[in-house]
Amino acid sequence: MPAVANGTHMSSSRTDPPAPIKEWAAPSPDQFRAEILPSDQPAVLRGIARNWPLVETALHDASAAMALLEAKANAHETGVLRTDPEEEGRFHYSKDGPSPFNFIRGQGNVAGILAGLREQENSYRPSAIAAQAMLAERFFPGFAKSHPLPWVPNAAEPRVWIGNAAKVATHNDPVENVAVVAAGRRRFTLFPPSAEADLYMGPHHPTPAGARISMVHLTAPDFDRFPRFASALEVAQAAELVPGDAIFIPRDWYHHVEAIERFNVLVNYWWDAAAVGAE
């Protein structure tokens, strides 16, 4: 390996892409419970939500998918994050200023959020907008019935994430997670729990959304500040998902999520396997 000026060595992982996440072509719910879930390894579940009405609409026309969401939504308000164009879609800590974060928080209903996204669609450098983890039944009554996912336990409630081209910093969750791309495209980069020491995790308080996040920008890493991140990339796995695809993220696995399109919808399901079992 070539030496760098400070006498350390540069890993080839700085340029090599992460390994691909193992893929399954439309596995059955029984396959998921018997083979994928017990493995404790991430898996891409291609096409398992291909027949969802929202997915079928989004595959043909993003504007029609927006209209479908708006028609099914009620007027309840939720939290909304917004960050300036120069942040390149990253919701993270502020470099300076009175706020610890580089984004502002607001409130809005689904119609207002979608109006904001439409406003940014034609901007050369849009502001990033994200409404995160909205309980589907609270904001879109009947969603679980019209968009079923028998791969997950009945106790796992669908949560809807709506936004444009934004990046969720590397973090982990103490529960199992299946996330379905319902509109747009998303790129997932995962790291095993053993990589924690190389991810430069931030403080326990404050955090942007309750979980500690990596201080490294995965899409533009600063290896001078964070040299051990090269080791994390050596064990990383990644995949790009399109509408109808899902990903299984095992408990405690770190993940970075990048929404790529100007309009994106993710539906995810969290559950504690020890508490609810694999139904």
Domain spans of the chain, in order of start: 18-272
Q: Which residue's structure tokens are 């609270």?
A: 138
Residues 6+ apart with CB under 8 A from 263: 62, 65, 66, 117, 121, 164, 183, 184
Distance CA 155, CA 24 (A): 24
Peptide bond into 42 cis (omega under 30): no
- Which pLDDT does position 97 carry in this prediction? 66
pLDDT per 10-residue tile (average), the chain, 279 residues: 36 70 97 97 98 98 97 98 96 86 97 97 94 98 98 96 97 98 98 98 92 96 97 98 98 98 97 73
In 197-236, which ranges are E strands? none
- Which pLDDT does position 14 carry in this prediction? 56
Helix then strand then coil, % of the chain, to nearest 5: 25, 30, 45
Give the class (CATH, top level) of 18-272.
Answer: mainly beta
Q: Which pTM was predicted? A: 0.92
- Which pLDDT does position 15 carry in this prediction? 60
Residue 230 CB coordination number (10 Å): 18
Can you give the C-alpha Rg of the chain in angstroms?
A: 19
Q: Which residue's structure tokens are 């891409």?
A: 44
